[in-house]
Structure 1
């Protein structure tokens, strides 16, 4: 039996198992296979984007943070079209008519997304106007070229001539010059020119050199915080590019291409070559969205649509205001601390502070340590772990999974140092991490050059787990140490994403990780058995369904059932159905779901025992926590996997138990803080809409982010006091 057949057979057994006695008692009034009980994945994601947009509209947030959220919305929509709309168009092109679990064809999903997207774009434009006015009030001015003074125009023109003009390459369009290739996400000028005393006009395309990083999107004029869009400066210096020629019109346009490219991995002899070919394919992929400025003529819009082979009715979007407002991140990052959230400096994890400077001794003494990023420092925990492993003469080997990391990564450098120091180092690099493929290919080659054993995971499965595994020769023999996380080994995102990590020297988990890495480096499933870890694709989903069913059974026996799941997305239909059944059985279910959620809460007789909330604010919620009351024998897990079909069935993921009562208390604190948030918390209604919760007079109005920052600082202060007290006793 092949890996795919084995995987499908196991999943089928999970999904089609005989109903339990508890399930037979549940009212048959609701057909849980009916599409009406499932919300659409794409539409619920767009609802999440509305919540992000609201953060930009919320006057309680500092001004530059509001600009940041506006920029994020633009970036999110770009990715939505590249991945989600692109994927749906791929299905439409392939003639797929199969309905989604919510009862829509691929084309119907595209059509249904059109209205909310247009509304979000309209809200974006209104927010942009509002924020520009507010920025001007505090001395940050973002205006067009025509609004500059004569002296300021001279400055802008000189900047253009010295820094931009040499980079521009006008591309004519005539019988000798066919319509040029337009790269993904590029911002372009469409310039219509004619020779004096002639009626015939010619079109030219000029690519704005922004996404290449060669120039800033907004040019700073003089010493003040006065900025002009670079495309506006180019448009007002076209006489240098077209000397002696009449400029009849100048418009802006931008394209977004499909990021979904299909390659037959089974047939690929070299996965690295396959991914590189797929990246080349993506550059030339079909266009899924064309943006044009509001003043562009109908004839030019029609010409662009025809040349780019798009449906002008469906795929052409008119943009008023700043096109590609993802670039507003440049403004959002201005060094004006008075316009940002109060400065947050991650603190050291107090459990890692001690008299013994060796991190392996500390982990061995504590047994396990829970890390909370970005509240606790990434560099003094995870990076320290890798650094010490690379230098420690007792460390024999290091194994790691890599999904995403920074361009300049200390983690990667420490792995290289470890190999050069004679350690056995093995890294499983996921080449198919979307939009990070090129970076991962570069890192894979760099690691191989120093003798690190690099593999690319398992055929047809993405390796999404976050694990560092260290084998060390202690005085009493070989011991295994590990870091298991919910987030990527990326120092940048560790400061902006809310994630969890577990340091452990648990021998059973160490044994399980040995099995996991043997599987990843060979690709052979065999009869591997895991005693504590719940990996995907073959175990986690089955175990989650079993644990949900167990809560139903305990509820029927008179014990109050409770399930609490924190995840980025709840998309898997089988998990959704199981949670509906749990609610019908009387089990209380709390779901903290950042974005996509198929389940509809609050439906009498079906889901009145389910509460769904979403936390959106200062940090991006990214951690996954699974909790089951289990009749008082509480179980806590942290996981790299979201509750999505792709994660549970088509990725290598790790879910690990957190067994220490001390660490369970930390997870309980985090869950309770978020469930009681009255600042950044949105509660889903039964129709899939969300209502932002507001603090009443007797309720705490602080955000969960503020509470978690303060709690991390408080834990560190308490530890310092204990250390000082202990040192005084010694004296």
Structure 2
């Protein structure tokens, strides 16, 4: 047993709401129609864990998947679980309407707590019973101190003395030394100490705490003991082996690594006296000190240490997670990076570069003739980088406007924007509240301002999540034209290598003019008369999406061709789900490719019989949003930044854009969506009970991501599947 769940119900919740009202008929109905977002998310993370358990994946990639599940879980705990606890403690349980699953806050927290403990147990079972033995067989070992030979111990001690010890600050908790401020997710060591000197007072046990330095690697590489072998020791294991040197005069009678996760929600309030930038910076400071939500500690920890820590952090027993292995599995990502064994990783892949047409002299010449659609990472991101860099390098470019949600520290785009500002009008709308990128975005905002860039932070209370870049260029024919890039992913060259996303570049006046209107909305909150052909949140998108779904229902009722294929990260908006249910009842065949959370319940008789939901989890993070509507045979396809979630439709500035170019639209529907619908290797199908099962292997095994990779390396004669329609909205995939 790797975790302890000493109470089946969260006691914090019971203190606030001792009575639970019986479910009413409307609650039961809600539970039958919708899945809970939190439980759906946990099932998504379970699908990621399945990739760590899958022996057909390269071994170090499996380690990486396990690390990703831990990182995902951190964010879930510090945002979602923290929010549930806070709302319960504020007394919202009885006043709050049941959630999408028909449960109150207390009931939801009970379910989530149980699922969390079960998931953590599955993580450590995977590490101990599958990955560690497999790594050992490949001569990659994560050793305990007692397993090191003499030479390795000598090397480790020297490393400790030179690199580690100068950074450590041991603290003994007593009246003169209060409990140190343990930062969010900082790995620490707790020690149970007793004075060696005699006496009644000295016989009492004390608690010692040492914070493991974040500036050092969590895995220390050790001298090679055999050809082809790579040995490591965890940094906290090395520190543990030397604790007697830090606490001289004490007997160490117990020790354990631990980590505390805190509430990391940012709570912004609009104040005339404070800019958005200063507000975010102040809130970031609070994040590190938020209320404790979870305590992770080793299974070997003495009960006295656990109880002292639990009391100090004011946690209930269910909030203590005992780990049968390294605390903070996300740090195993270092094992992936430090191990030099290419055979245990995916082969290196570089996306295919876009080739200009024979009649084009540069990208702008190409865009005057046709639209350009790119599917990353299979199509190289260099084309997008070059589009933005043209603002600095092309003297014909006189203006650039761009949104930034997340980017990388060494982004060539960031450099291009600062360089372009020396001679060109540059406007950037940077989202300071991009979760866990706030600090870096603040830094970039200041650096851009220092370089002369006009920096704006969008509309207060709305995150700027749309992905837009607009260049104004005086072309060789003397005309001034606008060129736009619209995308589904962030302007981040690093994530562009392992996120699947769509980029769309165009000079179509109707689109570039609408993009300019969106920028005016973001910088001046000046609403345009219309934004057609774009769908813009929070202004028009929610209603437009439902109208598109309802139009398919009308086509189906009239006996015309109808069908929907929609790919997104999450589907949670209740009004949209209800529209999909109504379309299904009208006979519309609906295929949804939803990577993560999905509240829609497919396959219910009389409600959602024609709806199928699948999730693709593989080497690349599925991040593209593509929405295809058959529209009576006049197909319409949209891409963009928004999922079908309330936060995207009502609380963010988002854009969906139509892909009207015949060739590009056909590629989206037949090549890209067709491949995802054919996938029977990495696809899981959502069942009516909320569980996911592997797609049945009818015919040869097919992985969409592998197909895209192969297609990027060499020409492929045929597309893998074609989204076709039959009379009255029936649709099938033709191999």
2:234 matched to 1:229? yes
Q: Which residue of 2 aligns with 1:331?
A: 335
Q: Which residue of 2 aligns with 1:19?
A: none
Superposition pairs of residues 255-274 of structure 1, within 5 angstroms: 255-265=260-270, 269-274=274-279
Closer, same or farther: CA 400–218 of 1 in aligned 2, 3 Å: same
What is the TM-score normalised by the length of structure 2? Answer: 0.90
Superposition pairs of residues 580-659 of structure 1, within 5 angstroms: 580-659=581-660
Q: Which moved more, 1:387-396 or 1:43-52?
A: 387-396
Give the Cα–Cα distance (whole angstroms) in 2 for the partners of residues 197 and 460 of structure 1: 60
Q: Which residue of 1 aligns with 2:159?
A: 159
Q: Which residue of 2 aligns with 1:321?
A: 325
Superposition pairs of residues 674-689 of structure 1, within 5 angstroms: 674-689=676-691
Q: Which residue of 1 aligns with 2:123?
A: 124
Deviations 1:562-581 (A, max 9, x none): 01110000000000000011
Q: CA deviation at 1:512?
A: 0.5
Could you tell me whether the CA contact under 8 Å between 1:193 and 1:203 is conserved in 2? yes
Give the Cα–Cα distance (whole angstroms) in 1 for the partners of residues 41 and 50 of structure 2: 14
Give the Cα–Cα distance (whole angstroms) in 2 for the partners of residues 407 and 713 of structure 1: 29
Superposition pairs of residues 39-188 of structure 1, within 5 angstroms: 39-97=35-93, 98=96, 99-129=98-128, 130-188=130-188
Deviations 1:678-700 (A, max 9, x none): 1000001101100012423xx23
Give me the CA root mean square deviation.
Answer: 1.8
Q: CA deviation at 1:155?
A: 1.3
Q: Which moved more, 1:125-134 or 1:642-651?
A: 125-134
Give the Cα–Cα distance (whole angstroms) in 2 for the partners of residues 441 and 195 of structure 1: 48
Q: Secondary structure at the match of 2:421?
A: helix
Closer, same or farther: CA 588–32 of 1 in aligned 2, 3 Å: farther
Give the Cα–Cα distance (whole angstroms) in 2 for the partners of residues 154 and 257 of structure 1: 37
Closer, same or farther: CA 31–290 of 1 in aligned 2, 3 Å: closer
Aligned with residue 369 of structure 1, among 361, 372, 395: 372
Q: CA deviation at 1:298?
A: 2.2
Closer, same or farther: CA 32–169 of 1 in aligned 2, 3 Å: closer
Q: Which residue of 2 aligns with 1:297?
A: 302
Unaligned runs of 5+ in 1: 1-28, 719-731
Q: CA deviation at 1:267?
A: 5.3
Q: CA deviation at 1:200?
A: 2.8
Deviations 1:100-139 (A, max 9, x none): 1322222222211122211211111111112111111111
Q: Which residue of 2 aligns with 1:308?
A: 313
Q: CA deviation at 1:215?
A: 1.1
Q: Which residue of 1 aligns with 2:259?
A: 254
Give the Cα–Cα distance (whole angstroms) in 2 for the partners of residues 613 and 716 of structure 1: 25
Could you tell me whether the CA contact under 8 Å between 1:90 and 1:260 is conserved in 2? no
Q: CA deviation at 1:288?
A: 0.8
Could you tell me whether the CA contact under 8 Å between 1:253 and 1:293 is conserved in 2? yes
Could you tell me whether the CA contact under 8 Å between 1:375 and 1:712 is conserved in 2? yes
Q: Secondary structure at the match of 1:688?
A: coil
Give the Cα–Cα distance (whole angstroms) in 2 for the partners of residues 58 and 319 of structure 1: 22
Deviations 1:586-620 (A, max 9, x none): 11110000010001111111111000000001100
Unaligned runs of 5+ in 2: 1-24, 719-735
Aligned with residue 388 of structure 2, among 386, 389, 413: 386
Could you tell me whether the CA contact under 8 Å between 2:639 and 2:656 is conserved in 1? yes
Closer, same or farther: CA 675–717 of 1 in aligned 2, 3 Å: closer
Aligned with residue 506 of structure 1, among 505, 508, 513: 508
Superposition pairs of residues 535-574 of structure 1, within 5 angstroms: 535-574=536-575
What is the TM-score normalised by the length of structure 1? Answer: 0.90
Aligned with residue 358 of structure 1, among 336, 359, 362: 362
Q: Which residue of 2 aligns with 1:208?
A: 212
Give the Cα–Cα distance (whole angstroms) in 2 for the partners of residues 643 and 112 of structure 1: 25
Q: CA deviation at 1:31?
A: 11
Give the Cα–Cα distance (whole angstroms) in 2 for the partners of residues 597 and 631 of structure 1: 27
Superposition pairs of residues 457-496 of structure 1, within 5 angstroms: 457-474=458-475, 475-496=477-498
Give the Cα–Cα distance (whole angstroms) in 2 for the partners of residues 151 and 259 of structure 1: 43
Q: Which moved more, 1:236-245 or 1:150-159?
A: 236-245
Q: CA deviation at 1:491?
A: 0.9
Q: CA deviation at 1:484?
A: 0.3
Give the Cα–Cα distance (whole angstroms) in 2 for the partners of residues 188 and 377 of structure 1: 42
Give the Cα–Cα distance (whole angstroms) in 1 for the partners of residues 632 and 715 of structure 2: 30
Deviations 1:132-155 (A, max 9, x none): 111111111111111111221111
Q: CA deviation at 1:716?
A: 9.6
Q: Secondary structure at the match of 1:664?
A: helix
Q: Which residue of 1 aligns with 2:674?
A: 672
Q: CA deviation at 1:346?
A: 1.0
Aligned with residue 347 of structure 2, among 342, 346, 350: 342
Could you tell me whether the CA contact under 8 Å between 1:349 and 1:716 is conserved in 2? no
Deviations 1:136-179 (A, max 9, x none): 11111111111111221111111111111111111221000111
Give the Cα–Cα distance (whole angstroms) in 1 for the partners of residues 91 and 468 of structure 2: 40
Give the Cα–Cα distance (whole angstroms) in 2 for the partners of residues 487 and 107 of structure 1: 36
Q: Secondary structure at the match of 1:381?
A: helix
Closer, same or farther: CA 34–717 of 1 in aligned 2, 3 Å: closer
Could you tell me whether the CA contact under 8 Å between 1:647 and 1:653 is conserved in 2? yes
Closer, same or farther: CA 32–462 of 1 in aligned 2, 3 Å: farther
Q: Secondary structure at the match of 1:34?
A: helix
Give the Cα–Cα distance (whole angstroms) in 2 for the partners of residues 138 and 400 of structure 1: 47
Could you tell me whether the CA contact under 8 Å between 1:402 and 1:430 is conserved in 2? yes
Closer, same or farther: CA 417–33 of 1 in aligned 2, 3 Å: farther
Q: Which residue of 2 aligns with 1:727?
A: none
Q: Which residue of 2 aligns with 1:456?
A: 457
Q: CA deviation at 1:659?
A: 0.4
Give the Cα–Cα distance (whole angstroms) in 2 for the partners of residues 251 and 31 of structure 1: 44
Give the Cα–Cα distance (whole angstroms) in 2 for the partners of residues 112 and 341 of structure 1: 37
Superposition pairs of residues 710-729 of structure 1, within 5 angstroms: 710-715=710-715
Give the Cα–Cα distance (whole angstroms) in 2 for the partners of residues 324 and 191 of structure 1: 18
Could you tell me whether the CA contact under 8 Å between 1:45 and 1:595 is conserved in 2? yes
2:248 matched to 1:243? yes
Q: Which residue of 2 aligns with 1:6?
A: none
Give the Cα–Cα distance (whole angstroms) in 1 for the partners of residues 179 and 76 of structure 2: 27
Deviations 1:684-721 (A, max 9, x none): 1101100012423xx23131101111223335999xxx
Closer, same or farther: CA 717–628 of 1 in aligned 2, 3 Å: closer
Count of aligned positions: 679
Closer, same or farther: CA 684–195 of 1 in aligned 2, 3 Å: same
Q: CA deviation at 1:297?
A: 2.2
Give the Cα–Cα distance (whole angstroms) in 1 for the partners of residues 463 and 57 of structure 2: 37
Q: Which residue of 1 aligns with 2:19?
A: none
Could you tell me whether the CA contact under 8 Å between 2:197 and 2:249 is conserved in 1? no
Q: CA deviation at 1:192?
A: 2.1
Q: Which residue of 2 aligns with 1:407?
A: 409
Give the Cα–Cα distance (whole angstroms) in 2 for the partners of residues 166 and 68 of structure 1: 31
